[in-house]
């Protein structure tokens, strides 16, 4: 939950990625630790659907972290010589 708050309200994708990774580690640990307990008793936090949603949050925010914030604005007009542009 804190990762979503950091991502949405505070625009802190780096912390959100870290939190999502921790959640995935906990899910993996809990599945292994409580593998003999039926799914109904463990709760929905340990279902594949919940894990998929956490992975989506992780990937969306990892993309924001890795993507450059300022892309160079190039125009075809600026790259061509004036006489080439008129042809």
* pLDDT tens digit sequence for 40-86: 888 888 888 989 999 988 888 888 887 766 555 555 455 555 555 45
Q: Which of 62, 65, 49 is nearest to 21 (CA)?
A: 62
Q: 76 with 23: CB under 8 angstroms? A: no
The pLDDT score that the predictor gives to residue 46 is 83
Give the model confidence (pLDDT) of 2-39 as tens digits.
555 555 555 677 888 888 899 999 999 998 998 898 87
- Give CA–CA dist 67/31, Å, rounded: 33
What does the block give as tokens for 46? 């340990």
Domain boundaries, the chain: 2-69
- Give CA–CA dist 10/18, Å, rounded: 15
């Amino acid at each position: 939950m804190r990762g979503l708050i950091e991502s949405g309200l505070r625009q802190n994708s780096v912390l959100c990625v870290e939190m999502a990774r921790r959640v995935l580690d906990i899910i993996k640990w809990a599945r292994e630790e409580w593998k003999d307990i039926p799914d109904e008793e463990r709760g929905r936090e340990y279902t594949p659907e919940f894990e998929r949603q956490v992975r989506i949050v992780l990937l969306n925010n990892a993309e924001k972290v890795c993507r450059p914030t300022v892309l160079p604005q190039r125009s075809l007009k600026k790259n061509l010589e004036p006489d080439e542009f008129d042809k």
